[in-house]
Amino acid sequence: MLMERDQSALLAVDIQERLLPHIHEGQAVLDHAVWLVRVAQKLGVPVMVTEQYPKGIGPTVAVLRGLTFPENVVEKLHFSCVAANCLDRLPGSERPQVVVAGTESHVCVLQTVLGLLGQGKQVFVVAEAVGSRRPSDKALALERMRANGAEIVSREMVAFEWLKQAGSDEFREVSREFLR
């Protein structure tokens, strides 16, 4: 199945100040997540952001927080965003497709993805935009998510599927800004 921009929402799970420095290749995970948020915003795809216990792990990293509206960010204590029932309050939660970025792949991302799949959502996990402290945990999480029905994709797959075709002003603008 293809990702459709009018059917998709982007979910950034727990990309937080005190956790990110411990994530393997954390800066790259953040850079890819920011790229996805900017593309989503350019194309009118709603962006949802979660924070796992921000009093302990800190808020969403500043660069990502600066790109999103405060009403698009929710706090949670459950590892799974679905179990926390926090996504229902966010714009885009009603959409059938969820594109997922975030940390940690084997904890909050995994449990959220499995929960979304359980709700019948089509879930696309952006491989380079998720991370864990240990690469082996990320690899196992991606394998498990795939085995349970999630599509593992790249950020460019997301952008090109949301765009659908070349030749438009919109494609040229996105290509110039994001696809060089």
**Residues carrying an active site annotation:** 14, 76, 108
97-103 sheet: strands from edge to edge? 73-76, 47-52, 8-13, 97-103, 122-131, 151-153
Which of 94, 78, 132 minimizes the C-alpha distance to 6? 94
Q: How many CB atoms lie within 10 A of CB 144?
A: 15
Encoded amino acid at 128, one letter: E
Report CA-CA distances (Å) from 87 to 11, 37, 70, 132. Answer: 9, 17, 14, 22
> Which residues lie across from 130 on neighbouring strands?
102
CA distance 19 to 111: 18
